[in-house]
Amino acid sequence: MSRAPYQGVTVLELADGVACAYAGMLLADRGARVILLEPPAGHPLRHRPSPGAGSAKRFAWLARGKESLGWDDDSAQAMTVLERLLGRVDVLLTDRAESWFAARGLPLDELLHRFPQLWIARNSAFGARGPLADLPPRDLLLQARSGLLAGEAKLAGDGVTPLPLCSTAMTAYPTGILLALGVGTMQLSGERQVSVSEYAVALAVSAVRTTDNAAADRLRNLAKQKLAAARARGADHALLRAARADLAVPPGNVFYRAFRTRDGAVFVGALSRPLRDKVRRVLGIDYGYPDDPTFDPADPARRAECVAMEAAVEAQFRAETSATWVARFDAAGVPVGEVIFPEDASALPQVLANGDVVAVDGDASELQVAHPARFGGWAMPPPRPAPAPPTIAAPDWVDDWIADPAR
């Protein structure tokens, strides 16, 4: 493949959230021309760090390979500039609500009519309708509303207040990938608009919790009923959590979890009977749960056995080093891995061997995570740096600017 897959496609990114930013990044990596509209104060991602990463890094990562154009929503010329752009680009990538467009005299459902060359890829966030339709797609809100946050049961020091997941913007990145998929699908098919609801994505990736399956849901239905009854009584959050006790994973899972070791931690991943048998052999334990059908973890005696077994195995792992445990489980063919911190990932031999981090074009000292897919026959060039803060576009030069192929 000699030509970049999205060469010749121009994308106008009019969005604040990580989902559209990541979608734009994926498309830019694949050769699309991605124009990022930034307000006078700079795009919010320039200023909003993810915890511990600093704002400079987040923007450098998500805006790589893009071009910036300043756009002042408050200025008299704003709509003239925007209409000029919409008349020239191939794809509008946005997470603004329908009301935002309508308020500016550019209702979304008329855009395709007014601009016959335009396609639209939209993160509809919580959805185009309903009481939450105008909420911005912020990670915390999506986690909270979708059950991801409460279901995670990560609690603050008071033992009750829920804490959000923090290792990643976990609804935004998948939504961004689906938006990129949507743009490609439109190109293949002639469909001119696609929308992905980040809220729906949050529900989809936890489908086992959020969807109904009459034959499978005995315990879940019990929990649903108790939860509904607790809600009706106005129960507080602690009681609501307790109402779902039937869904709690019983103790005794020593087969698919992480363990502290003498010098760190490892994760053991045995998800089948044969693999669990291997774990039993490596650990030298005679432990029927969960494969022995006569082993009932609800029976108090058996439950005590589960608790004791878990504590014993934890102590076993703590007695030896991570390297020892990894070697043992590797030799037995059980999936296992050492727990590392994110700041160590870029130096992993496996990561380096596969080119999963790459130097940014023009600055070999900056290493970024590589595009997640590899294409045979097309050597993806190194990513270009993120753009510097732009000047505000004016109608008298924006046409020339966008027409310039050298950009």
Residues of span 249-288 touching another protein by CB under 8 A: 256-260, 262-267, 269, 271-272
Is 389 among the residues that bind another protein (CB under 8 A)? no
Measured CA to CA, the distance from residue 169 to residue 95 in angstroms comes to 16
Measured in Å, how far apart are the chain's first and last C-alpha atoms?
A: 23
Q: Which of 381, 351, 352, 356 is nearest to 368 (CA)?
A: 356
Measured CA to CA, the distance from residue 289 to residue 295 in angstroms comes to 6
For another protein, which stretch binds (CB under 8 A), given 240-248, 295-303, 390-398, 399-407?
Answer: 240-248
CB 360, CB 383: distance < 8 Å: yes
**Checking phi first, is residue 127 left (phi over 0); if not, alpha (psi -120 to 50) or beta?**
left
Name the helix (H) or strand (E) containing 175.
Answer: helix 172-189
Q: How far is the CB of 67 from another protein (least distance, A)?
A: 20
Cβ nearer to another protein, comparing 135 with 394? 135
Task: Identify the residue among 76, 207, 298, 301 touching another protein (CB under 8 A).
Answer: 207
Q: What are the CA-CA distances from residue 318 to residues 9, 63, 389 (Å)? A: 55, 43, 51
SS3 (DSSP) at 38:
strand
CB atoms within 10 A of CB 356: 16
Cβ nearer to another protein, comparing 207 with 406? 207
Q: How far is the CB of 70 from another protein (least distance, A)?
A: 19
Q: How far is the CB of 401 from another protein (least distance, A)?
A: 27
Six token digits for residue 201: 């994505």
Q: Which residues of 246-258 are buried (b: 16+ CB within 10 A; e: fewer)?
A: eeeeebbbbbeee
Return the residues of window 352-381 that contact another protein according to CB under 8 A.
Answer: 352-354, 356-357, 365-370, 372-378
Q: How far is the CB of 399 from another protein (least distance, A)?
A: 29
Residues in contact with another protein, counted by CB under 8 A, come to a total of 160
Q: How far is the CB of 398 from another protein (least distance, A)?
A: 27
Measured CA to CA, the distance from residue 14 to residue 86 in angstroms comes to 11
Q: How far is the CB of 250 from another protein (least distance, A)?
A: 13
For another protein, which stretch binds (CB under 8 A), given 67-75, 76-84, 183-191, 396-404?
Answer: 183-191
CB atoms within 10 A of CB 178: 21
Is 210 among the residues that bind another protein (CB under 8 A)? yes
Task: Identify the residue among 147, 320, 324, 401 touching another protein (CB under 8 A).
Answer: 147
Is 314 among the residues that bind another protein (CB under 8 A)? yes
Task: Identify the residue among 78, 79, 106, 165 touching another protein (CB under 8 A).
Answer: 165
- Residues making up the chain, counted from first to last: 407
- Burial category of 353 from C-beta neighbours within 10 Å (exposed 0-12, middle 13-18, buried 19 and up): exposed
Task: Identify the residue among 85, 118, 146, 402 touching another protein (CB under 8 A).
Answer: 146
Cβ nearer to another protein, comparing 84 with 385? 385
Measured CA to CA, the distance from residue 66 to residue 45 in angstroms comes to 14
Task: Identify the residue among 106, 242, 348, 380 touching another protein (CB under 8 A).
Answer: 348
For another protein, which stretch binds (CB under 8 A), given 98-106, 148-156, 279-287, 391-399?
Answer: 148-156
Q: What are the CA-CA distances from residue 362 to residues 204, 383, 388 (Å)? A: 40, 9, 15
Is 116 among the residues that bind another protein (CB under 8 A)? no
Return the residues of window 185-204 that contact another protein according to CB under 8 A.
Answer: 185-189, 191-197, 199-201, 203-204
Task: Identify the residue among 74, 76, 214, 362 touching another protein (CB under 8 A).
Answer: 214
Cβ nearer to another protein, comparing 189 with 294? 189
Q: How far is the CB of 23 from another protein (least distance, A)?
A: 10
Task: Identify the residue among 39, 57, 79, 384 touching another protein (CB under 8 A).
Answer: 57
Is 312 among the residues that bind another protein (CB under 8 A)? no
Measured CA to CA, the distance from residue 296 to residue 305 in angstroms comes to 11
- Burial category of 348 from C-beta neighbours within 10 Å (exposed 0-12, middle 13-18, buried 19 and up): middle
Cβ nearer to another protein, comparing 99 with 272? 272
